[in-house]
Structure 1
Amino acid sequence: MEALRVALLGAGTVGSGFVKLLTAHAERLATLGTEVRITGILVRDPAKPRPAWVPTDRLTTEADALLADADVVVEAMGGTGRAQELVLAALEAGLPVITANKALLAEAWDALKPHALEGLLFYEAAVMAGTPVIEPLSGALRGSSLIELHAILNGTTNYILGRMETGATFQEALAEAQAKGYAEADPTLDVAGIDAAHKLAVLARLVADPSFPWEAVRRHTRGIEHLTPAVLRAARGEGKVVRLVASLYAQEGRWHARVRPVKLPQDHPLAQASLSQNALYFKGDAVGAVCIVGGGAGSLVTASGLLGDLYRLLEGYPGHPPLPAPVPAPAIEASRFEEV
Structure 2
Amino acid sequence: MPFQIRDQHGAARAVAYLMLAAGVYNLVTGVLMKIGAPILELVALGVASVAFLIIGWVCLRRPGSLPRPFWLSVPFLSAAVVTGLNLVTKDTTTGAQLFYLWPLLYAASFLSRPMIIATVLSISAGHAGVAFSYMETGPAVNDWIAITVAMAMTAIVVASLVERNDRLREVLQVQAASDSLTGVANRRAFDERLARTVAAGTGQFALIMIDVDHFKTINDTWGHATGDRALRTVADALRAAAPAGDHLVARLGGDEFAVLLQAGPLTALGYAEQARNLVLATEDLPSGPPQLSIGIAVLPDHATTAEDLQRVADAALYQAKADGRGRSHLAAHPSPHNVGALY
Q: Which band: TM-score by shorter chain?
A: under 0.3
Q: Which has the higher contact order (CA 8 A, sep 6+)?
A: 1
- Greater strand content: 1
- Greater helix content: 2
TM-score of the superposed pair, with normalisation by structure 1: 0.21
